[in-house]
Amino acid sequence: MKKLLLAVVLGLLLVAAFTTLALADNGPHGGFTATTDACASCHRAHSAQYGSNALLIMAPDALCLSCHDGSGAGTNVQDGVYSQAGSDAHAGGVGLGPVEGTDGASLMGGGFDFALMATAWSGAVTANPAFNATSKATTSHHNYDGTIGTVWGSGAINTASASYALECVSCHDPHGTAGYTNVTASTTICNPALLPGDPCTEKVASYRLLRWQPSGSSGFTAPAVANWTGGAFPTNGTTTGWTVPDNFATTGTEWYTIGTTGAFAAGDYNAGNANNVYNLKNAAATETNTYIPAAVNVAFFCAQCHDRYFNNSRLRNATDVSMYCGSPVNGTTPPYVGSPLFLPFNAPVGGVHPTDPARCEPVYTGAVITGWGDNGPSGDTTYMYRHSSGDIRISADGSAAAGAGTSVSRSCVACHTSHGSTAAMTAFASDATLAAVAGADVNNSTLLRMDNRSVCLRCHASTVNFTVGP
Amino acid sequence: MTTPNPEPEEITPTEPAGENPEALDSTPVEAAGVAAAAVTQPASEEEDARKRRLLLVLLLLLLLLCCCAGYFIFRYVTKPQPIADMLPVDVYYPPTYKFSFPLDKPVGVAVSLDNQRIYGVESGGERLVKMFDRNGNLITSFAPPFTTSANRKPIYIAVDSKGRVFVSDTYNNVIAVFDKDGNFLDGIIGRDTTLSDALVQHLGSKIPAGTLFYYDNINKQVVYQLPSEDVSRFPVEQIDWSPLGLRFDQQGNLMVTNIVVGKHSVLVFPAADLQGSWVDFNPQVTEFGEEGKENGQFSFPNSVVTDRAGNYYVSDSNNGRISVWTPEQIYTTFFGMGSTDQSLNLPRGMWMNAKDQLHVVDNVGQYVRVYDVSGKEPTYLANFGDYGTEEGEFNFPNDICMDGTGRLYIADRENNRIQVWSY
């Protein structure tokens, strides 16, 4: 019997010796120390299953969703909501009800499987937290599981769009910037008031863990045909000299998803400092010591892959004083009569801008839109003209001075979600012919935030004689 | 049984003839035969006796074996439990893989006390709770009223002594309660609030039979529909309530992990307060732990179990460890954290068997670790399973439970199945 027991024990030990692996503790997003053993939470030096360089234990998408399905993190990207009571870290404290960061509120980027969005715009801008928001299955989403998809507007001009396999880690750096060289020690990004002792050797997680540029993209290179006169594009960790108005300081608001509050594009996606560094603040917008490096300008970020959208006919530069018709008026304060935010809702007949009639005239008369401070066509036969990417530099108040007044952003995320959208495409966008031409699925919402083309009406309602009101 | 007479020619006299006088009057052949008989008779009797004794011993052993077998059969029939728990030797015998049955990304699993119903929670597809028999055949599936896959997120599940099924819905911050057949009964929407409690206060009267009700966390409202009436709503705020993990201890107390931001903790609802009507729901809830990385703190605790002495074991998931608390809810120690071959990555669901062997599912490690917590110090016993998609291999397992017969049910999320192992 003793021999039998000994054999069993030895057998178990032998089995255990061959099946166990080096393990570790701690979460993945920063907090590393010089003696950290957190690496082995996700990586294996000799027995990785995925990634020739990442040496991941398992497929990264499943790895991320192990927590970000709500069971290990408040940010439930699967459902596009915060699934954790008391999540108010980014609430903004502006008294507008649940916003991103609050339990049960939508994620700004939407969700991959489901999303909580108010895609049916009633024309009302309201603080009602239940602003028609309902959770539905997404009608389009970025891939996150490594499957190859078309990258619209990618590649050399006048060529077919490229394809690329996206994963969570394509856009997000799970280490934040705490892990390695995205951040160099610099007083511009390390504030002694926040990080006493040796502040600039401390590394903090980047805003939303966004990378400087999507992993796998070659980084943005200004196309030769682009009429871009603004200077060099940002690259990893460098400064660009672009001045971006800090609307967060002005408005005290975080970005609001349209679906949650009805507010539109007033937020800190514009809010970087001169070094393209996010300045994430507390609810009272008074904390200035949390400088967080990230891909500040979403347009820059998105254009790492969708680069031909950036090969732009209407990018603004420092001399651009024009503005589209639906901008607020310089010196006025919302809410405007008839519309809390946008002038055109109650604009004079014809949509003439009260202080700058010429501004809206091309829209009103149907004349060819020229002379808006743009520099002509892009030269790309497929993507010849498009909206500017307004958050690069914007003086939405009509002033030539950078950063003056309240801005209204037209960053990519003003109209599109980054994870996934539930917008319904029931009109032209649902046309099977269109889908066939575009190579997209029928009813694919192309990540638009609102049903059909409601995003257009957010700014251009008056020009299409659209009756709005609660 | 008889002893055959030896053949005369085979007999070789070895004794002197003078020692047998009768042999002198006989022929040589007769004398030889007599002599042989005289010599053989005592030896044969002794042999017979020896064999009888041996036979008796064998019979006694057989009887003892039958008694032991009968004893085990009797114990197993009257009180089913793992064979390993009944064996008198203190050796751990790892379970073996049996079979699996399909679910869409299961994250929670539980079994009824009669071992006949297995409940699995889906995080993919329609996000239903599905009920199976012991062979893995689907019996039925269910979900809370007024919900679709888009606005519910069931994760963990537990079954109480009455067969009621408790499911944590993290999308709505509700512990939804069903009867054993999946009929919705009520929901806990706060430490001292249930849906029926809130609805009675709102209506000012009893809830009519057939009324449907649930909680909508997005709009912070109770949704209800009286028989033959339209759907109505009224606001109810939840306070410090974000339930995740669920388990019942041996006394029937409900243990809940709560992941309110900045306040991660464990809540214990006394069994007595979970009986009877929930209209005046006012349980004497106790709470321990807080959010953080230090001793006595949690980061997304996922599961709580107790040992025979009543000590609590909490899978402190994002801290990668098991936190241990006394029955008085005083922190004592932790284990499983570190970089050894006995430590944990992302511990999630847990189960404690009758021998105080703690089974921990490691979501990222892709195995189940077993610790013996019966002594003064927890000791690592073994682990089973490994990463993969074949039988007995795991792909992000998330939860585990054991029935009274020693069967283990493990939610194998990315392999879209519940695995069945057995001791």
Q: Would residue A63 count as lying in a domain?
A: no
Q: Which of B153, B234, B366, B371 to mutate to test the interface with A (most CBs of A within 10 A)?
A: B153
Residues A93 and A166 placed together within one structural domain of the fold = yes
Tens digit of each residue's pLDDT (9 = 90 or more) over A214-251 = 555 544 444 443 333 333 444 433 333 222 223 333 33
DSSP for A45-114 reads SS---B-TTT-BSS-HHHHHHHHTTTTS-SEETTTTEE-STT--TT-TTSSSSS-TTSTTPBPTTB-SSE
DSSP for A306-322 reads SGGGTS-SS---TT---
Domain boundary among A34, A58, A82: A58
Q: Positive or negative, the Cα torsion across A187, A191, A196, A201?
A: negative
Task: Give the distance, in angstroms, between the CA of residue B129 and the centroid of all CA atoms in the same chain.
Answer: 19
Q: Would residue A41 count as lying in a domain?
A: yes
Six token digits for residue B24: 């002198």
pLDDT category at B11 given cuts 50, 70, 90 is very low
Determine phi and psi for A460, rounding to 5 degrees: -110, 25
Six token digits for residue A3: 């021999």
Residues A335 and A450 placed together within one structural domain of the fold = yes
Q: Judge: A21–B365 Cβ closer than 8 Å, yes or no.
A: yes
Separation of alpha carbons A266 and A256, rounded Å: 7
Secondary structure (H, E, C), B252-275? CCEEEEECCCCCCEEEEECHHHHC
Tens digit of each residue's pLDDT (9 = 90 or more) over A315-340 = 333 233 333 333 333 333 333 333 22
- Quick check: A23 and A47 in contact, CB under 8 A? no
Six token digits for residue A89: 């870290």
Q: Which residues of A touch B168 (CB under 8 A)?
A: none
Helix (H) or strand (E) holding B397: strand B397-402
CATH for B86-192+242-422 is: 2.120.10.30
Q: How many pairs of residues across A and B have Cβ atoms under 8 Å apart?
A: 167
- ipTM value of the model? 0.74
Return the beta strands (E) in B220-320 as ranges. 221-225, 231-235, 243-248, 254-258, 265-269, 286-288, 290-291, 297-298, 301-306, 312-316
Q: Judge: A20–B366 Cβ closer than 8 Å, yes or no.
A: no
Average pLDDT in the A415-430 region? 80
Q: Which residues of B touch A26 (CB under 8 A)?
A: 293, 318-320
DSSP for A153-177 reads T-SSTTS--EEEEEEHHHHB-TTTT
Residues A334 and A452 placed together within one structural domain of the fold = yes
- H-type helices in B108-240, by residue range? 195-203
Query: Cis peptide leading into A335, omega within 30 of 0?
Result: yes
Residues A277 and A158 placed together within one structural domain of the fold = yes
Residues A38 and A154 placed together within one structural domain of the fold = no
Q: Judge: B217–A114 Cβ closer than 8 Å, yes or no.
A: no
pLDDT of residue A84: 74
Name the residue facing B364 among A12, A63, A133 (closest C-beta).
A63
Query: What does R_g of chain B's alpha carbons equal in angstroms?
Result: 33
pLDDT of residue A347: 35
Average pLDDT in the B354-371 region? 93
- Quick check: A79 and A70 in contact, CB under 8 A? yes
Q: Would residue A108 count as lying in a domain?
A: yes
Q: Is B228 in CB contact (< 8 Å) with chain A?
A: no
Name the strands in the sheet holding B397-402, side by side, starting at the edge strand that comes first in the sequence: B96-102, B417-422, B407-412, B397-402
Helix (H) or strand (E) holding B187: strand B184-190
Separation of alpha carbons A240 and A227, rounded Å: 18
Phi-psi region of A276 (alpha: psi -120 to 50; beta: other; left: phi over 0): left
pLDDT above 50 (res B276): yes
Q: Judge: B263–A86 Cβ closer than 8 Å, yes or no.
A: yes
pLDDT category at A191 given cuts 50, 70, 90 is very low
Q: Is B44 helix (H, G, I), strand (E, B) or coil?
A: helix
CB environment B284-313: b (16+ within 10 A), e (fewer)? ebeebbebeeeeebbbbbbbbbbbeeebbb
Tens digit of each residue's pLDDT (9 = 90 or more) over B383-411 = 999 888 999 999 999 999 999 999 999 99
Q: Would residue A67 count as lying in a domain?
A: no
Name the residue facing B259 among A15, A79, A84 (closest C-beta).
A84
Separation of alpha carbons A214 and A302, rounded Å: 8
Separation of alpha carbons B345 and B396, rounded Å: 12
Six token digits for residue B275: 């009986």
Q: Judge: A15–B170 Cβ closer than 8 Å, yes or no.
A: no
- Among A44-48, A389-393, B261-265, B297-301, which range has the highest average pLDDT? B297-301
Q: Which residues of B touch A20 (CB under 8 A)?
A: 341-342, 383
Q: Which residue of B has its CA nearest to A89?
A: B261
Residues A37 and A92 placed together within one structural domain of the fold = no
Which DSSP category does B62 fall into? H
Q: Which residues of A touch B151 (CB under 8 A)?
A: 114, 134-135
| Position B275, amino acid | Q
Q: Which residues of B touch A25 (CB under 8 A)?
A: 319-321, 337-339, 343-345
Q: Judge: A103–B151 Cβ closer than 8 Å, yes or no.
A: no
Tens digit of each residue's pLDDT (9 = 90 or more) over B282-308 = 999 999 999 988 999 999 999 999 999
Q: Would residue A12 count as lying in a domain?
A: no
Q: Which residue of B has its CA nearest to A26?
A: B319
Residues A260 and A331 placed together within one structural domain of the fold = yes
Percent of residues, chain A, with pLDDT higher than 70: 26
Residues A286 and A330 placed together within one structural domain of the fold = yes
Separation of alpha carbons B6 and B10, rounded Å: 7
Residues A36 and A95 placed together within one structural domain of the fold = no
Residues A183 and A248 placed together within one structural domain of the fold = yes
Tens digit of each residue's pLDDT (9 = 90 or more) over B228-258 = 999 999 999 888 899 999 999 999 999 999 9
Percent of residues, chain B, with pLDDT higher than 90: 70
Residue A250, number of CB atoms within 10 A of its CB: 16
Separation of alpha carbons A158 and A155, rounded Å: 9
Which DSSP category does A339 fall into? B
Q: Would residue A11 count as lying in a domain?
A: no
- Number of domains composing chain A: 2
Q: Judge: B339–A25 Cβ closer than 8 Å, yes or no.
A: yes
Q: Would residue A4 count as lying in a domain?
A: no
Q: A82 - beta bridge partners? A: A75
- Quick check: B304 and B266 in contact, CB under 8 A? yes
Q: Judge: B220–A73 Cβ closer than 8 Å, yes or no.
A: no
Q: Which residues of B touch A62 (CB under 8 A)?
A: 395-396, 413-414
Tens digit of each residue's pLDDT (9 = 90 or more) over B410-422 = 999 999 999 999 9
Query: What does R_g of chain A's alpha carbons equal in angstroms?
Result: 24
- Quick check: A405 and A397 in contact, CB under 8 A? yes
Residues A292 and A322 placed together within one structural domain of the fold = yes
pLDDT of residue B267: 98
Q: Judge: A104–B220 Cβ closer than 8 Å, yes or no.
A: yes
Domain that holds residue A53: 22-58
Strand pairing of B290-291 and B297-298? parallel
Residues A145 and A51 placed together within one structural domain of the fold = no
Q: How far is B316 from chain A (nearest CA, A)?
A: 10
Which DSSP category does A451 fall into? S
More confident residue, B345 or A48: B345
Contact partners, residue B57, CB within 8 Å, separation at least 6: none
pLDDT above 70 (res A16): no
pLDDT of residue A109: 77
